């Protein structure tokens, strides 16, 4: 069943994935910024902000050096300003402590200010090909439907169960596209 689910999902994604400016680029900075902007915010709302942000702050060095006032101006309208503050703090850690290089593992990424489990997993799998599940609400919803489960995906036990299922089905050769395909299916089909 694993090969069938993964193969069908990836084939669907290859044909139906939305063209988004952060997709197809295995750059941890772009993945990190996009995933942070997308937290509790719809893709359509993020597109303009992302383009403006990347035009002015194209890499971790530019983000680390920007003044807070300018950063907040670029973020204005996205809300949840703690996300912008955490991006800034983490960029400074990356520049000052890591020579501007992103850690490659989920565990190391979790040490960055404001980077939680989902974001660390998304960066590790999409940018570095690490076989880790990036299970957001969309992904959990897909697996609840796949398993015909009425479990409440907001509960920790259900989240752990479905996250384990995501990993169980993950093709080791394409973990990033697999995670993105699940996110896309959850966002576009399993509403």
> Residue 137's closest CA among 42, 46, 30?
42
The one catalytic residue among 3, 35, 101, 184? 35
> What is the DSSP code string of 51-111?
HHHHHH--SHHHHHHS-HHHHHHHHTTS--HHHHHHHHHHHHHHHHHHTTPPPSSHHHHTT
184 is an active site residue = no
Q: 174: exposed, middle or buried (C-beta count within 10 Å: 0-12, 13-18, 19+)?
A: middle
> Residue 53's closest CA among 83, 24, 10, 26?
83
Q: Are 72 and 81 in contact (CB under 8 A)?
A: yes
Where in the sequence numbering do the catalytic residues fall?
35
């Amino acid at each position: 069943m694993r090969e069938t689910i993964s193969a069908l999902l990836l084939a669907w994604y290859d044909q139906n994935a939305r063209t988004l400016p952060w997709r197809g680029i295995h750059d941890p900075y772009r993945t990190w910024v996009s995933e942070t902007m997308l937290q509790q915010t719809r893709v359509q709302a993020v597109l303009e902000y992302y383009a403006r942000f990347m035009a002015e702050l194209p890499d971790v060095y530019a983000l680390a050096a920007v003044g807070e006032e300018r950063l907040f101006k670029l973020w204005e309208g996205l809300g949840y300003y703690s996300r912008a503050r955490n991006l800034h703090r983490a960029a400074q850690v990356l520049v000052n402590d890591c020579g501007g290089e992103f850690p490659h593992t989920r565990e190391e990424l979790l040490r960055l200010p404001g980077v939680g489990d989902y974001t660390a997993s998304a960066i590790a799998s999409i940018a570095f090909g690490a076989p880790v599940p990036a299970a957001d609400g969309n992904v959990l919803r897909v697996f609840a439907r796949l398993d015909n489960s009425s479990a409440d995906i907001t509960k920790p036990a259900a989240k752990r169960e479905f996250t384990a299922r995501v990993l169980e089905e993950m093709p080791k050769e394409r973990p990033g596209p697999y995670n993105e395909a699940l996110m896309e299916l959850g966002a576009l089909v399993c509403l």
